[in-house]
A and B are shown apart, each in its own frame.
Chain A
Amino acid sequence: MKIRLRFRDISFDIVNYVLLALLGFITLYPFINLLAVSLNDPLDTVRGQVYFFPNKFTLDNFKIVFDDSALYMAGLRSILRTVVGTFLSVICTMMLAYTLTRKDFILRKSINLIMIVSMYVTGGIIPSYLLIKGLGLTNSFWVYILPGLIGVFNVIIMRTAMEGLPEGLIESARIEGANDFQVLFRIILPISLPVLATVTLFNSVGHWNSWFDNYLYNTRDNLNLLQYELMKILLQSTSQMVNNASSTGYVDSDAVKNVTPEAIRATMTVIVTFPILLVYPFLQKYFIKGALIGAVKE
């Protein structure tokens, strides 16, 4: 009886570990494959499949992407948006969250109500578009920053973390004559680094990944972001495949040159994904806490 139980236990473990490892593989494999394609000779990729490693290693694809001035500028804009947007969002979120931890604050209840309702009631995509157009924010860099400056979700995460801080600390600082700005930036900020890391991660990932505001509001090419450029390539490839599927006997004209849209697409995908993979493992232990606060309070 006992032996049979133990046998069942072990076989369960084996099946479980295999299943989970398989899931891990399925999650990672697309990234590995794209990396291999981006490092492979484009003509070789057209001829046969690339699975795990490049067959004919080359850095040409990356050179082509980095030499393209439009893509280069889009990359700089994406970095600028992420840095400026995240910095402003985190500072502003922190200030708003702090005021909401002050129980005697006169507007506390009204602000809470305004925030919660805004999570459930939205005007929708077209009224928002008309508003932003009316405010003159179309074709401007600020449309990337201002509408999303305050994320209610992030305010809640920060407020919850600040409420968990020892009250005596803040109280004694106030007795010694510190004003609200000093309390926030000198006392609270240094001991709130975990939650700051969480909110910074959520914000920066959000900014880095955004493309729809670019698509909807900034129609001139001089404000394009990297994600949007990648989206344009995606749509081009899709429409080419649609055309090929509806006509017979096609010639892949680009394959004649030493560059293919597939290779460029893979390379850009790698470039766009890379920063996220770079920062993510280091912040992981912080943001899980943040995600839990968000989920519970939602």
Chain B
Amino acid sequence: MSLSTSPRTSTKLFTKLRSQYQLLIMSVPFVVLLIIFSYIPLWGWLMAFQKYSPGKGIWKSPWVGFDNFVTLFHDERFFLVLRNTLVMSGLSLVTGFVGAILLALLLNEVRHSFFKRTIQTVTYIPHFVSMVVIANIVLTFLAPEGIINALLLKLGILNESVFIMGKGELFWFINTLVGLWKELGWSTIIYLAVLAGINPDLYEAADVDGAGRFQKMWNISIPSLMPTAIILLILSMGNIINIGYESQFLLGNPLNLDYSEVLDLYALNLSFGSGEYSVGVALGIFKSIVSLLIVITVNFIAKKSSGIRLF
């Protein structure tokens, strides 16, 4: 049946493949698609070691070794953008993390399930709304003639209206608040599930001992949340250099660019703005390596200190 040198095993494989041809039809095309769109771009990493030009392509562009990385690490703008990225993701990591746990604890204390469900439903909404819509809301509210300015004028905090989005120093703050507003509700889901799974006996025993609500929260609820919280923290640490660029792209403008530009946008700018494709790719590689290192480090520390690990 087969011309192979080990007829028995290859025949077995062949019959198995034949008997599973339907499963193959159901999976292979999609795996091929996944490989094309997720793995073939890795080939493009070679560009970081070339002086790539679109006209010559990856085959004919000259090789330059690590020159692009040297260029990148001598670029002042790169460090400015790196700072923006780290500060903004640090801020959103801390606020999002603390906020989600706090909100989950507060929701967990609500006894009227209708009220609880309503708040949950409402706070999940922004998660599903596009960043374009959110950016529109932000711009409308923070415009010189917008509602925030009107409020500050009325309260006498401001004497004349200002274009708040033009104040670069405020951008990190605004971006953090916007992110918090969008994702806070949604990020409580997993914590609420953990809280719902806590054995009620624990609370009853605490009641018998005369513990108040804060004591129960502190001694039962929060410790129960910790393992989940640490795993989520490890996961998000890997992305600390990898924050999205949507909100920065949409909320950014020439006046706040020194505070709003993040690594991905800078890579785009280098490539399509200045034609420095290779430096842009080098920046991408830098990002991947750093996030990998962070995940491994955090995982190691978490394992040493609490026995919780991801891999």
Write the residues of chain A forming the contact surface with B, with a CB cutoff of 8 angstroms.
5, 8-9, 12-13, 16-17, 19-21, 23-24, 26-28, 30-31, 33-34, 37, 46, 49, 51, 92, 95-96, 98-100, 102, 104-107, 111, 114-115, 118, 120-131, 135, 146-147, 149-150, 152, 179-181, 184, 205, 208-212, 227, 230-231, 234, 237-239, 241-242, 244-246, 262, 265-266, 268-269, 272-273, 276-277, 280-281, 284, 288, 291-292, 295-296, 298
B137 contacts A30, C-beta separation under 8 Å: yes
Contacts of A150 in B (CB 8 A): 30, 33-34
A20 contacts B119, C-beta separation under 8 Å: yes
B121 contacts A281, C-beta separation under 8 Å: yes
Contacts of B31 in A (CB 8 A): 96, 107, 111, 114
Q: How far is the CA of A230 from the CA of B165 in the complex (A)?
A: 18
Least Cβ–Cβ distance between A115 and chain B, in angstroms:
7
B95 on the A face (CB < 8 A): no
- Considering the complex, which residues of chain B in the window 162-186 have a beta carbon less than 8 Å from any beta carbon of chain A? 163, 165-166, 181, 184-186
Least Cβ–Cβ distance between B213 and chain A, in angstroms:
6
B39 contacts A245, C-beta separation under 8 Å: no
Which 10 pairs show the lowest CB-CB distances between chains A and B?
A: A127-B44, A123-B41, A124-B284, A209-B130, A127-B41, A118-B38, A95-B26, A180-B22, A245-B163, A99-B27
Identify 6 new A-B residue pairs, CB closer than 8 A, beyond the known A23-B103, A184-B26.
A105-B27, A114-B34, A118-B38, A234-B135, A273-B133, A296-B190
Question: Given the interface contacts A150-B34, A242-B166, does A34 sit within 8 Å of B140 by beta carbon?
Answer: yes
Contacts of B268 in A (CB 8 A): 125-126
Most buried by A among B24, B30, B193, B213: B30
Interface residues as binary, B17-34 with A (CB distance below 8 Å gives 1, 0 otherwise): 100101110111011011
Contacts of A149 in B (CB 8 A): 30, 33
A interface secondary structure, majority = helix
Question: Given the interface contacts A118-B39, A150-B34, A244-B163, does A126 sit within 8 Å of B284 by beta carbon?
Answer: yes
Least Cβ–Cβ distance between A224 and chain B, in angstroms:
13
B interface secondary structure, majority = helix
Interface residues as binary, B82-115 with A (CB distance below 8 Å gives 1, 0 otherwise): 0000000000000000000001001101100001
Contacts of B37 in A (CB 8 A): 128, 131, 146-147
B189 contacts A239, C-beta separation under 8 Å: no
B166 contacts A49, C-beta separation under 8 Å: no
Q: Which residue of A lies closest to B135 (CB)?
A: A234
- Considering the complex, which residues of chain B in the window 127-184 have a beta carbon less than 8 Å from any beta carbon of chain A? 128-133, 135-137, 139-141, 143-145, 147, 150, 163, 165-166, 181, 184
Q: How far is the CA of A155 from the CA of B70 in the complex (A)?
A: 41
B271 on the A face (CB < 8 A): yes
B301 on the A face (CB < 8 A): no
A269 contacts B125, C-beta separation under 8 Å: no
Least Cβ–Cβ distance between B196 and chain A, in angstroms:
11
Contacts of B202 in A (CB 8 A): none
Interface residues as binary, B35-69 with A (CB distance below 8 Å gives 1, 0 otherwise): 11111111111010000000000000000000000
Least Cβ–Cβ distance between B114 and chain A, in angstroms:
12
Q: How far is the CA of A21 from the CA of B120 in the complex (A)?
A: 11
Q: Which residue of A lies closest to B151 (CB)?
A: A49
Question: Contact partner of B147 among A33, A102, A269, CB < 8 A?
Answer: A33
Q: Which residue of B lies closest to A262 (CB)?
A: B140
B109 contacts A12, C-beta separation under 8 Å: yes
Contacts of B129 in A (CB 8 A): 209, 273, 276
B16 on the A face (CB < 8 A): yes
B123 on the A face (CB < 8 A): yes
